[in-house]
Amino acid sequence: MRPEDLVLTARGVRFRGHLFPCSIGRGGVSRNKREGDGATPAGSHRITGVFYRADRLPPPTGCARPIGPGDLWSDDIADPHYNLLVRAPHGFGHETLRRADPLYDIVLLTDWNWPDAVPGRGSAIFLHQWRRPGYPTEGCLAFSRQNLLWITKHLSPRSRVIVRSRDQRPDPGQSRR
Alpha-carbon distances, residue 1 vs 13, 51, 52, 152 (angstroms): 13, 26, 28, 19
Q: Report the percent of the chain where pLDDT is more than 70.
A: 93
Question: What length is written for the chain?
Answer: 177
Q: Residue 174 — pLDDT band, cuts 50, 70, 90?
A: very low
Q: Are 142 and 128 in contact (CB under 8 A)?
A: yes
What per-residue confidence (pLDDT) applies to 167? Answer: 43
Q: Residue 166 — pLDDT band, cuts 50, 70, 90?
A: low
Q: Are 72 and 97 in contact (CB under 8 A)?
A: yes
To the question of pTM greater than 0.85 for the whole model, the response is yes
Q: What's 6-165's CATH class?
A: mainly beta
Domain chopping of the chain, boundaries: 6-165
What per-residue confidence (pLDDT) applies to 169? Answer: 32
- Mapped onto helix, strand or coil, the DSSP state of residue 147 is helix
pLDDT digits (tens, 9 = 90+) for 63-75: 999 999 999 999 9
Biggest CA pair distance of the chain: 49
